[in-house]
Every structure is written in C-alpha cells, then in structure tokens.
Amino acid sequence: MEEGHTEHHEHAEHHQFHEVHHKKRVNKKNLFIFGGLILLVIVAIILLFIAFKPSQSIEKYNVSYSLELADGTSILTENSIFNEDSFSSTLGLNSKTIDSEIDSLAIGQEKTITLSAEDAFGEYDPELNMSINRTQEMERKRTIPRTITIGLSDFTDAFDEQPIVGRTYSLDSDPFQYKVLSSANDQVELSREINVGATVPNSLFPLKVTSVNITEISLEMQANNTVIPSENGNWDVTVDSKNIYLKLTPIIGQNIDFGYAGGRVVGFSTNQIYVDANVPYAGEKIIIKLKLENKFTEKIASSNQGYISGAPTMQVFIMSHCPFGTQMVKGILPVMEKFKGKANIEVRFVGYTMHGAQEDLDNNRMICVREEQNSKLIPYLECFVSNTGSEADSQKCITQVGLDKSKLDSCMDLRVAEYMKADKELNTKYGVQGSPTVILDGKEASIYPRDPTTVAKALCDAFTSNKPSECSLTFSTTNPSAGFGTGSSTSSEASCG
C-alpha cells in the first residue's frame, strides 16, 4: 500500500547443481563451464540479498515534554516514545527544529525551546473562519426495481442449491425473499417478494414498504419529530410528507467536521454554524520543555512491497460503521487479495464520523493495522465486516488474525493521529463527502453495484496498457449486504454523509 508498512516474508530458491566428475583430467572447456556456474551462483546470491534485505533498525526516543503558551498557560504534559525525527510531525509543529534538538540531547538532559507562531502551529488566518448549514435534508420516498438478474454461480453460492422456477428463497439478515422467475444461459431472474407494510433496515431511519407492483417496490423513510444526541451536538429531527430535516445544535468550543468544512464551533444562528478552522494555538508562541529519558534502537523488518509505479491506484474512503462503507469493503477485499503486487488498492477513511465512539476507535485501529501490520489488514477486515462491529468482536479479530497487540496499542496512543492526518489531507484534495467514496487515479469513480466483479472491472479498465492476468479472473457478481455480517443485498447507491 502507498506509504504503508508491510511485513517482509523472506523466501529463497534452492538450486541443486549436478557436479560432473571425470575419471581423467578436466579439460579447459570444462573448467570454463564450471567457472561460469560459480559466477552465476555468486550473482544469484547477490540478487537475493538485494531483493530481500535484512532487518533494518530505527532510533526511538523516550521523551518527557510539556507545551506552554507565552503567558505560562499549560497546553500539554506527557511522556511518550517517538521514532527518530517524528516528534514535530506527531505534534503537528511546522518546524523540525525540535527533532534536531532531541537528537543532540544526552540521556537525562533537559532543554527549553521557544518556537515562533510560524514554526509552532502557524500564523492565524482570518479566512479560515467559515459557516456551515445547520440543516440537512433527506427525501423520504424512494423506489427500487422489483426484478433482478444474477449469475447462476452467484445464486448457488447464496442459496446452496440450484434454482427451481417458481420456488421462493430467503437469506439471513435480508428483508426480501427471492422468487425464481426463470433460469437460462447461466442467468437467474428473481422477483423481490415483500409485503406492503414490511420494514427494511436503513442506516439512519427504517424504510417502510408502501406499495409493490410488477416493476418496482416503493418505500418511505420512517421518522418522528425527535432529538438525536451525537458527538457533534443534538440533531433536531422534523418530518413532513416529503422530507426529513436534521438540524444540529452544536456545542460551543467543540470541534465538528462535516468533510467539506469543519473546525472549532465559535457560534451559531438560526440557519448557520460558525466555525474557526485554524488549528488550536495558531498565532501563538509555544514554549517546549524537553527531557530525554532514554534512547534505544528497535529492529524492524524492511518492506519489499510498496507503491507500484504505472499501476492504477484505487482509494476507498469509508467510515468503519457506515453500513454502505462495510458493504464496499466486502466488495473490494477479494480484489485486494488477488491484485497484490499488481495494483494499488487502499482503504482510507472519511475525515469525520457519524456512528459514535466505537466507530472512531475502529477507524483508528484499522489505520494502525494498515500502516504498521499491513500483511494482516485483509484478514482483519474480513473478520471485522463479518461480525457485529462490537468492541468484543474487534478484540476477537485481533486475536484471530494474530495482530501484535502491544504494537497496535502503541500506534493508537502515539502515531494514529499523524496517519489519519494524511487521510484527511486526501479528503480535502478529492472533496470526499461520504462513505463510501472511491477515488480511482485521482478522480471519483461510481462503482455500482458494489460486488467484486464491478470493482475488478473498474480497476482493470484503469490500466492503460499491459493488463495483468488477474483481469481475466472470475469474481463474484453478488452484491454484498450493507452493514455487518454476511449475505447479499439489493441496495448499492446509498451512502453515509
């Protein structure tokens, strides 16, 4: 993965050489051949050494430090372990001066450094004061097709039997039943069967079936006038016959982030929320007091995988608890597995969350796995999306795939904010505003349905030349279910955000 870390798997080819012995003296020609074989062996060993470099090492610093404003106001006091040259970037400082100072300290030595606003958190920019609409609007009514056509193999994968025309089949966690209308030429035509008045789960508000005819099913989002608490404040929900309106009452002084705009709330009016998007302490001199507690070297496995030049890059931005984000993850995982080393496929994160503290925790956990234990990212994601999304299941997945828990905890405590900063910069660069958002070679791509076949086709279409053999592989055409768990779904185009 681009800018990621992967575990290095060493392997070596063992060559057997058959040495020819002669009863009599070896002539010059044979000496020449034998010498050439020795040269080839030496070259092979050198090439293997280059391809599979031995473990590298990185300097670590255990630093006690405090940050203060010029008037003595304390900002932060901590003791943490940092990689070499990472102190400034981890804290979000503009200047690398502190890293040089830490490197020059002896163990036990203390130092006080004063940074100008420019070198600390930057000058204050009045243009970063902005307003955000308080109200979001959603249409209540929508329709979906009554009939769908899927491949025969997808049908048998889903229902574990051959289709019988006229028979009705059901799936766990799917509110619809599926009646087989026809089966021919490896294609199965199905009719969605559901009663008027039935409820279909949805990310925010459930959908009620209002009518069913031969061609389509009509649904209406169900909601009442209520108040929904969230980490950004209270959402006042009001409903009319056509729309649902969500109006946020924010908390003054708290940060909010809607992807396209965000910052610290400084006030709000009837229709607008006013935010200051300057980083905290912008425009302030910062006094940093340091003490180097310890300095040590940690061995790390060098990576022989990274960004693949000339191959397409697919970046999938999700929220870990968005039902449609997990649906997209289920669609891309088989493609990620097959296209290792052939294309750049990245799981990235939307710069804001909508599903509570557990989502923030799981986002951070996945980022740390992606960056520091990347070889186990795919099995971890497979485990995560097939469960319930609870903390207990997340811990089960950590054990199941064999993650280094101490390394994971260290990442979440010290480094995840810096990793997430890179994702947020990509959010801004590409204008990401919801989960899932797919960016393919720098441009937003519409991938519907979210099945592996559609994902693979979009990726393979992005190769300008020399498509890999993986593009001829057959992937599932079953659209994964939205949300956690297994199964299939008919919903594709919905998103969170």
**Confidence band for 50, pLDDT divided at 50, 70 and 90:** very low
The predicted structure's pLDDT at residue 1: 40
Q: Is 230 exposed, middle or buried (0-12, 13-18, 19+ CB in 10 A)?
A: middle
Q: Per-residue pLDDT averaged across 451-466, rounded? A: 89
Domain boundaries, the chain: 56-125+281-300, 127-139+224-276, 142-220, 313-472
Q: Which of 98-107, 303-312, 464-473 has the lowest mean pLDDT?
A: 303-312
Residue range 270-294: average pLDDT? 92
Mean pLDDT of all residues belonging to the chain = 83
State the architecture of 56-125+281-300 in CATH terms: Roll (3.10)
pLDDT band of 43, cuts 50, 70, 90: very low
Opening angle at CA 312, ends 306 and 318, nearest 5: 80
Q: Note whether 300 and 118 are within 8 A (CB).
A: no
Please give the residue that has the higher pLDDT: either 160 or 89.
Answer: 160
Which among 314, 411, 431, 426 is positioned nearest to 363, based on CA atoms?
Answer: 411
Q: Do 313-472 and 56-125+281-300 fall under one CATH topology? A: no
Query: Domain 313-472, what architecture?
Result: 3-Layer(aba) Sandwich (3.40)
Q: 431: Cβ–Cβ under 8 A, 6 or more apart, which residues?
A: 260, 444
Q: Kindly report, residue by residue over 129-152, the tens digit of the pLDDT.
A: 988 889 988 899 989 999 999 888
Q: Is the pTM of this model over 0.85?
A: no
Structure tokens at 321: 């608890």
